[in-house]
Amino acid sequence: MKNELDMSVEICGIHLKNPFILASGPRAKDSKDLLRAAECGAGAVVTKTIGPEAAIVPRPCITRTLGGVINNELWSDLDYDSWINKEIKEAKKGGVPVIASIGGARYINGKLSYDSTPEDIEIVAKGVAAAGADMVELPAYDPRTMIPLLKAAKKAGLPVIAKLSMITFEPDDLGIAAKKAGADAISFMDTMGNVYKFDINTGKTFMGSHTSYGRMGGASLKPFMVYGVAKLVRATGLPVMGIGGIMSGEDAVEAIMAGAQAVQLCTAIILNGHEFFGTIGNQMEAFMRKKGYGKLADFRGLALRNVIEREEKGHEIFEPQNPKIDKDKCISCGLCIMACPWGALYFVEKKATVNTDLCYGCSLCTSLCPTKAMTIDY
């Protein structure tokens, strides 16, 4: 019998059976979606963003792109009363924590306004709390308005997660400001953009809105997310949830090694369905068994600690470190040979071999090798 693994986490005093959370988005549009995510193994669910008014969404609004999707969705097109009187209460039947994403966008004289007011945020926050939500997530992108909006959300008495977007490559100050305003946790990041995607057969945009642009989510966001998570954990000491580019168990491990308490999945669920929660859970379990980890705390922050140690020691290497090649693992695919900028790799008896006089030690080859036959010490 296999030893039981503990993948549970605690965020703001709330227990999650695992760190995989359904993010706010198209697959969190109503209670049916939230219940399905819980049934498929999500540790918690986040609603689509609930505002004082329902959104009117131009279509089409989602298209596939390399590594993910581009979307021009808005907040929930279900009205506030539906969420408060039905959807959140139904979602609670899934048996996992329900996090209400809230916003204050409105239509003023027929035009969309994203200028949320503290009054609207307080009303929505108190409404979702009364409906049974366990936490509130507040998209807090603009540092000029974030503090009063967070303070308004706190009046509902629930833990508040500040959802930060990458408006800067260094999110530390925004995270510190969120903490000072009362945020109990942070989620980072949101989709990136604005971006265009055009149909080369017609010259038209794939988005149905008058602006023609969308925002990008998916695998390409992961390096930005991992960096931001590590920086925010260090700067704030708050629980941080990584969002952006979580497409596999390995991606989730990387975010947790950066210090994340949990991860939220959006694009992976858009493309693969709610059933993907079972897949990513199995992938995480396989990783933990292979490495001998019994719980997430065994490797949470591992990479972040290594980063801090390198910084403190001023550890840098300038002499080239040549890759070591396990010939038994080499499958003669030739990817490393094609990619090497210095022409330092070649075949000997159909096995990759390194010319140490030419090798620059860049390590590109080790990241390309599909069988992990190449490693480098640094």
Tell whether 275 and 331 lie within a shared domain. Answer: no
Copy the structure tokens of residue 272: 């693969």
Q: Which one has a higher pLDDT value, 144 or 131?
A: 131
137-163 average pLDDT score: 93
Tell whether 354 and 287 lie within a shared domain. Answer: no
Cα–Cα dist 296/279, whole Å: 18
260-270 average pLDDT score: 98
Tell whether 347 and 224 lie within a shared domain. Answer: no
pLDDT at 88 over 70: yes
CATH number, domain with residue 322: 3.30.70.20
Q: Sort strands 98-101 and 44-46 into parallel, antiparallel or unpaired.
A: parallel
In a domain, 4, yes or no: no
In a domain, 51, yes or no: yes
**Quick one: pLDDT at residue 2?**
58
Kindly list the strands in the beta sheet with 214-218, ordered across the sheet, starting from the edge strand earlier in the chain: 62-65, 68-71, 214-218, 192-195
Tell whether 237 and 329 lie within a shared domain. Answer: no
The domain of 239 spans 9-309
- Looking up tokens 């992976």 gives 268
Tell whether 63 and 186 lie within a shared domain. Answer: yes
pTM of the model: 0.95
Judged by DSSP in three states, 224 sits in helix
Tell whether 176 and 111 lie within a shared domain. Answer: yes
Domain boundary residue, one of 256, 288, 309? 309
147-172 average pLDDT score: 94
pLDDT at 22 over 60: yes
Q: Tell me which residue of 156, 92, 93 sits closest to 129, measured CA to CA.
A: 156
CATH number, domain with residue 305: 3.20.20.70
pLDDT at 114 over 90: no
Domain boundary residue, one of 283, 309, 335? 309
86-103 average pLDDT score: 98
pLDDT-based confidence at residue 105 (cuts at 50, 70, 90) = confident
pLDDT at 258 over 50: yes
Number of structural domains in the chain: 2
Tell whether 52 and 136 lie within a shared domain. Answer: yes
Tell whether 351 and 298 lie within a shared domain. Answer: no
**Quick one: pLDDT at residue 143?**
77
In a domain, 1, yes or no: no
Average pLDDT taken over every residue of the chain: 95
In a domain, 266, yes or no: yes
List the alpha helices (DSSP H) in 77-211: 80-82, 88-91, 118-131, 143-154, 172-180
Tell whether 38 and 186 lie within a shared domain. Answer: yes
Say what percent of the chain tops pLDDT 70: 99
In a domain, 3, yes or no: no
Tell whether 295 and 367 lie within a shared domain. Answer: no
**Quick one: pLDDT at residue 108?**
86
Which residues are within 8 A (CB) of 278 and not within 5 positions of it... i.e. 6 or more apart? Answer: 40, 41
* Cα distances (Å, whole numbers) of residue 366 to 73, 106, 319, 332, 360: 39, 50, 17, 14, 13
pLDDT at 1 over 50: no
Tell whether 253 and 330 lie within a shared domain. Answer: no
**Quick one: pLDDT at residue 337?**
98
Cα–Cα dist 256/254, whole Å: 5
In a domain, 191, yes or no: yes
In a domain, 81, yes or no: yes
**Quick one: pLDDT at residue 4?**
85
Tell whether 86 and 192 lie within a shared domain. Answer: yes
Domain boundary residue, one of 284, 309, 334? 309
In a domain, 114, yes or no: yes
pLDDT (tens digit per residue) in 46-72: 999 999 999 999 999 999 999 899 999
